[in-house]
Chains A and B, each alone.
Chain A
Amino acid sequence: MIEAKGLTKRYGATVAVDNLSFEVKPGKVTGFLGPNGAGKSTTMRMILGLDTPTSGDVRIDGQRYRDLHQPLTKVGALLDAKWVHPNRSARSHLAWMAASNKLPKDSVDKVLEMVGLTTVANKRAGAYSLGMSQRLGIAGALLGDPEVLLFDEPVNGLDPEGIVWIRTFMHRLADEGRTVLVSSHLLSEMALTAEELIVIGRGRLIAQSTTQEFVDRASGTTVKVRTPQLDQLAGVLQQQQLVTRIEDVEDQGKVLFVEGDLSTDQVGEAAAAHGIVLHELTLQRGSLEQAFMQMTGDSVEYHAHDEVAAVTQLEAPTAAEVAAGPKEDN
């Protein structure tokens, strides 16, 4: 179990992590979600004792990382797949790691086999593709057969096959009873990977709940209405204190959207009561990404407010599109 209490990290004037408290429990994959620059990597570096918190602390089963002896047998981590000497072979890289924690001699071969790098283990790591580097990083994390695993954006830049491989791998590790913390800036990815979510924005905790709860709470519903009496219906609904929005939708002309948690019944009845003709009445669920942006919208560091609003009104991208999309600059 990982436990953070009031974790805070300042770099000069930047507050990277701000009074963050959370728990990561064993036996499931916990997603660590936040937009670019939210402080995910910084938090993970503090968990591993690489960066010292400005205040607060984080413990693993009650111990600070820097007090652990042979920590690789307790915590495995992949923060950055590039943290390997490019002229060193994967086998030598894992060999020194194994020696540092007095791990058994066969542990290197075992993890190489596990991630499927056995045949290229003696090649220099600098020649590896991104997917192979990521596998080497995972091999390093698994080397000491640890109970706790941290992965920082492990699917970043991977092809769909690689993404599925890693996702399956995480589930297997959690099913074995391990504590697995995986960061990502994509809710759609986390929805498929994580059971539990810790959501942060600008270094602050936004939510800690199950993924299902977060998604249900976040993605409100919208009712879409097409009608020739657009303005009249909008007026009627506004009198009922409902929020409406009129938009030009391609091929459909002007369309009325009614926001908030409501059913199509309410809109249909209101229309009937005033003799308004309806051409379409549908319930739309917000996409995960919309929901995520709504929740973290105020805390996205590098976007102007208007831009966030504009983005949330875009057509919902499919999960695959989102997953394949480029990582935003920060």
Chain B
Amino acid sequence: MSVITVERIKLFSTRSPWWCMVIAAFLTVGFAALTTGFLNSTDEQQATIFITQPGAQLSQMVMMVMAALAVTTEYRFGTIRTSFQAVPQRAALLLGKTAVVAFLAGVIGLIASFGAWGIGSLFAGNADLAINTGAEWRLLAGQGLIFALSAVIAVAVGILIRQSAGAIAILILWPLLVENLVTLIPKVGDDLAKWAPFANGSSFLNQGQDFGLAGAGAGGSDFALGPWWALLYFAGWAAALLVIALFTASKRDA
């Protein structure tokens, strides 16, 4: 697949994606060190895998920024035109970019979650941090899927908005603010929040976890769908946005 090679060369031949990846991986691991490194012995008993993962959402944001920039910088510097000139089958080219970016985001997601778990096990040696249940595996390995899917959403938003500041603002405000603020809308607010895409992404990770030290409601409790359906729902959003973006990019002037 030449489009994969193309996008791989593009991504790795500038420095900022490297920085984003390093920062993303370190954020989760660093946060895990903070949440597990200073526990007194009673708290340490109560530590669970869940409390090693608080930095993951931040890392996910950083990877989304990287994914969006992979598109918007091409529009900013005009290389998107050179790209479409080299590969006029625009949807194929952009799919290649999506695949590369999503794959990398997934790998970083796994490094982040398992790295954080490793640091947690090291610092909170007396806690039971063994991965025994399916839910625990889902929390750690699932991070890779969530990172990858949110990168797909970021690429789609980047293609649609074409402009770094705008795309990044949307990608950060949407999961962090918009999805939380809708709960303030009377009557329908709670339902809207339950069906929001990123909320389902986290519900896939958090359902059935032992929140332990973090308290019973830490990972949310009001879920619209079971974990795997929630993942599918989140993936549906990513796919729909990507299809709209690819269609738009193929139609409009480069």
Please list the residues of chain A having a beta carbon within 8 angstroms of any beta carbon in chain B: 45, 48-52, 65-68, 71-72, 77, 79-80, 82-89, 92-93, 95-97, 99-102, 140
Task: Give the shortest distance, in Å, between B192 (CB) and chain A (any CB).
Answer: 37
Is B13 in contact with A88, judged by CB distance below 8 angstroms? yes
| CA of A87 to CA of B251, assembled, Å | 29
Is B13 in contact with A92, judged by CB distance below 8 angstroms? yes
Is B73 in contact with A85, judged by CB distance below 8 angstroms? yes
25 A–B contacts, CB within 8 A, in A order: A45-B81, A49-B88, A50-B254, A52-B251, A66-B88, A67-B88, A71-B88, A72-B86, A79-B81, A80-B81, A82-B78, A83-B78, A84-B78, A85-B14, A87-B15, A87-B16, A88-B13, A88-B14, A95-B9, A96-B6, A96-B13, A97-B82, A99-B9, A100-B2, A100-B6
Is B253 in contact with A80, judged by CB distance below 8 angstroms? no
Q: What residues of A have a CB within 8 angstroms of the CB of B16 in the complex?
A: 87
Q: What residues of B have a CB within 8 angstroms of the CB of A89 in the complex?
A: 13
Decide yes or no whether B87 CB sits under 8 A from chain A: yes
Task: Give the shortest distance, in Å, between A328 (CB) and chain B (any CB).
Answer: 22
Interface residues of B in 67-96 (CB under 8 A from A): 73-74, 77-79, 81-89, 93
Pairs of residues from A and B, 9 with the lowest C-beta to C-beta distance, nearest first: A83-B78, A92-B13, A100-B86, A96-B9, A50-B254, A51-B253, A66-B88, A99-B5, A87-B14
Q: What residues of B have a CB within 8 angstroms of the CB of A50 in the complex?
A: 81, 84-85, 253-254
Task: Give the shortest distance, in Å, between B59 (CB) and chain A (any CB).
Answer: 23
Is A100 in contact with B3, judged by CB distance below 8 angstroms? yes
Task: Give the shortest distance, in Å, between A74 (CB) and chain B (any CB).
Answer: 11
Query: Which chain B residue lies CB-closest to A82?
Result: B78
Q: What residues of B have a CB within 8 angstroms of the CB of A97 in the complex?
A: 82, 86
Given contacts A83-B78, A85-B14, contact A68 B88 (CB under 8 A): yes
Q: What residues of B have a CB within 8 angstroms of the CB of A72 in the complex?
A: 85-86
Q: What residues of B have a CB within 8 angstroms of the CB of A95 in the complex?
A: 9, 13
Count the B residues whose beta carbon is within 8 Å of the partner chain — how many?
28
Q: What residues of B have a CB within 8 angstroms of the CB of A82 in the complex?
A: 77-78
Q: What residues of A have a CB within 8 angstroms of the CB of B3 in the complex?
A: 100
Q: What residues of B have a CB within 8 angstroms of the CB of A102 in the complex?
A: 2
Please list the residues of chain B having a beta carbon within 8 angstroms of any beta carbon in chain A: 2-3, 5-6, 9-10, 13-16, 73-74, 77-79, 81-89, 93, 251, 253-254
Q: What residues of A have a CB within 8 angstroms of the CB of B83 in the complex?
A: 100
Q: What residues of B have a CB within 8 angstroms of the CB of A79 in the complex?
A: 81
Query: Which chain B residue lies CB-closest to A67?
Result: B88
Task: Give the shortest distance, in Å, between B10 (CB) and chain A (any CB).
Answer: 5
Q: What residues of A have a CB within 8 angstroms of the CB of B81 in the complex?
A: 45, 50, 79-80, 83
Best-buried of B13, B78, B87 by chain A (most CB within 10 Å): B13
Is A84 in contact with B77, judged by CB distance below 8 angstroms? yes
Is B84 in contact with A140, judged by CB distance below 8 angstroms? no
| CA of A77 to CA of B253, assembled, Å | 17
Task: Give the shortest distance, in Å, between A303 (CB) and chain B (any CB).
Answer: 28
| CA of A159 to CA of B114, assembled, Å | 58
Task: Give the shortest distance, in Å, between A283 (CB) and chain B (any CB).
Answer: 49
Q: What residues of B have a CB within 8 angstroms of the CB of A85 in the complex?
A: 10, 13-14, 73-74, 77, 79
Query: Which chain A residue lies CB-closest to B73?
Result: A85
Task: Give the shortest distance, in Å, between A272 (CB) and chain B (any CB).
Answer: 65
Q: What residues of A have a CB within 8 angstroms of the CB of B88 in the complex?
A: 49, 65-68, 71
Task: Give the shortest distance, in Å, between A196 (CB) and chain B (any CB).
Answer: 24
Task: Give the shortest distance, in Å, between B96 (CB) and chain A (any CB).
Answer: 9
Q: What residues of A have a CB within 8 angstroms of the CB of B73 in the complex?
A: 85
Given contacts A87-B15, A95-B9, A99-B9, contact A77 B79 (CB under 8 A): no
| CA of A248 to CA of B9, assembled, Å | 65
Q: A80-B81, A89-B13, A96-B10 are in contact. List 15 more A-B contacts (CB 8 A).
A: A45-B81, A45-B253, A49-B84, A50-B254, A65-B88, A66-B88, A67-B88, A71-B86, A80-B78, A82-B77, A84-B78, A84-B79, A85-B14, A95-B13, A97-B82
| CA of A99 to CA of B7, assembled, Å | 10
| CA of A79 to CA of B86, assembled, Å | 13
| CA of A173 to CA of B10, assembled, Å | 29
Best-buried of A49, A83, A86, A140 by chain B (most CB within 10 Å): A83
| CA of A84 to CA of B10, assembled, Å | 11
Name the contact of A48 in the complex, choosing from B77, B85, B87 (C-beta under 8 A).
B85
Query: Which chain B residue lies CB-closest to A89?
Result: B13
